[in-house]
Every structure is written in structure tokens, then in C-alpha cells.
Structure 1
Amino acid sequence: MSETVRMRLLERFAAAWNARDLDALMDCMAPVCAFHASGGPDASGRVYSGRAAVRAGYQAVFDAFPEAAWTNARHFVAGNRGVSEWRFRGVDREGRRVDVDGCDLFVFDGDLIAVKDSYRKMRSG
């Protein structure tokens, strides 16, 4: 697939996050896929493998942050890999505000996302 097609895919994917549209998110994912959340018990975060688990992982993000927006999105693609950089602003279930930069590292399978590996900055002090 061309890098242009994959760039458009990342643009659609980012828009689906802001629309909180699980079906649109999953339309961007390959049949065999994984989501590595930015937090979790393992060094690589919490890993969701398989379409049902990935969908549940994405829903968990929406549940954790009833208010959320990913802004200032910038994407690039190189071969079967891609990166999205963004600013995350949200309010969690306890009312705490979050405002941090982050990125996603992607691996593509054809014209779909096989792996989404998320990273978010953690503020201190």
C-alpha cells in the first residue's frame, strides 16, 4: 500500500478517537491486531490482542476519560510503520484534568493497522 493511503488511514483513525466511534476505530484495524496501552502492569503497558480485546481496550480508554480530546495531530508513515503525535486533554472519572503530549507507534498490515502502541507523557510536581 502507498504511504498516502496509510496517511489517510491515520487521519481517519485520529478523527474516530475524537468522535468516540468504536466502529470507525475498528474499521481501521487489521483482522489480527493489538493495542499496547500507555499504562498497565507490564513494561509495554497493558496489551490487548485480537479484535475483541482491542475494542474492549479502546472502550476502556473512553470509560476512563469521559471527556477527552486528541488535538494537534501530526502523522508520518515510513514503509509499514507510522507515527501519530498529539496533545491529549481530558478529564478522568474522578474529575482530574490531564493535559499531556503523546504519540502512537503503528505497524501496518496492508492498508490497516496491525499494532497501535501508545505513549503519553506523565506530569510531575
Structure 2
Amino acid sequence: MNIDDLQAYVDAWNKHDIDKIMSFMSADCIFETGGGPETYGTRYSGCEAVKAKFISVWEMMPDVHFDNASHFIQGNRGCSQWTFITTKSDGTKIALEGCDLFTFEKGKIKVKSSFMKHQH
């Protein structure tokens, strides 16, 4: 994985292109959400579970996109920082800063752990 790959990954999210997104993920990938009952949020394991969760994001927030993405990689770890933008069901716009921390294995994303600021 390199910086261009991480930007292409974000671009695929912004196009809601699940096949392209999953082409960056390993078959045994793990997605840890920014919130949930465990210390790591909620964990989805395996390609099908992760894919289903990603699709559900667009079902809940059809206009979701990630702006101002920047990335870095160090060894088998990487980070993408971005601004998460969507519209709530009541019409309120949301813009929150966040990041994904990645662990890479064999040129693919093995673990995607998401973090996001919250509005009060």
C-alpha cells in the first residue's frame, strides 16, 4: 500500500463503489467502528461482514463523503485523516473530522479502525 492507494480508497468511498473499496481489503479483513460497546467500538470480521457494514453506511447516509483527505504510511501501518460530511434525516448537515488507522498485510488493508469527533 502507498499514499496513492489510500487516496484511491477514499475516492472509491466517495463514489460509493463497494467493489473498488473491497479490492483494497484482505479476505480476512477487520473493520472496527468509531463507536460501540467494546473498547475498539464494534468489530466486523471477514470480507462479507465488512462489505455489508460499509453498504449499510450508504443506506443510512446516502450523501456521505470524505473531504480533505490526507494520508501517511509507516511500515505496515497507515492513516487517512479526513472530514466526514453527510446530511441527517432531519436535513441537518454534519461535518466531523476523523481518521482511519490501517494495518496492512500482503499489500491489502487487513484492519481499518475508524475514529471520529462528535458533535454535542
Report the TM-score when normalising by structure 1: 0.90
Range that drifts further, 77-86 or 90-99? 90-99
Deviation at 1:94, TM superposition (A): 4.3
Q: Which amino acid aligns with 1:105?
A: L
Deviation at 1:93, TM superposition (A): 3.6
Aligned residues: 120
Q: 2-side partners of 1:34 and 1:23: how far apart?
A: 16
Instruction: Write out the 4+ residue segments of structure 1 that deviate beyond 6 Å after TM superposition.
Output: none
Question: Structure 2: any 5+ residue segments left out of the alignment?
Answer: none
Percent same amino acid at aligned positions?
38
Helix, strand or coil: the match of 1:67? Answer: coil
1:24-49 alpha-carbon deviations (Å, 9 max, x no partner): 10000012101111122322111110
**Pairing 1:7–2:7 present:** no
Q: Which amino acid aligns with 1:68?
A: V
Q: 2-side partners of 1:60 and 1:43: how far apart?
A: 22
1:42-76 alpha-carbon deviations (Å, 9 max, x no partner): 22111110000000111121112111110000000
**Pairing 1:56–2:36 present:** no
Tell me what 1:81 maps to.
Answer: 77
State which of 112, 115, 120 in structure 1 corresponds to 2:116: 120
Tell me what 1:19 maps to.
Answer: 15
Range that drifts further, 33-42 or 19-28? 33-42
Contact 1:9 1:112 in 2 (8 A): no
Question: Structure 1: any 5+ residue segments left out of the alignment?
Answer: none
Report the TM-score when normalising by structure 2: 0.93
Contact 1:84 1:104 in 2 (8 A): yes
Q: 1-side partners of 2:87 and 2:37: how far apart?
A: 22
State which of 87, 91, 100 in structure 2 corresponds to 1:91: 87
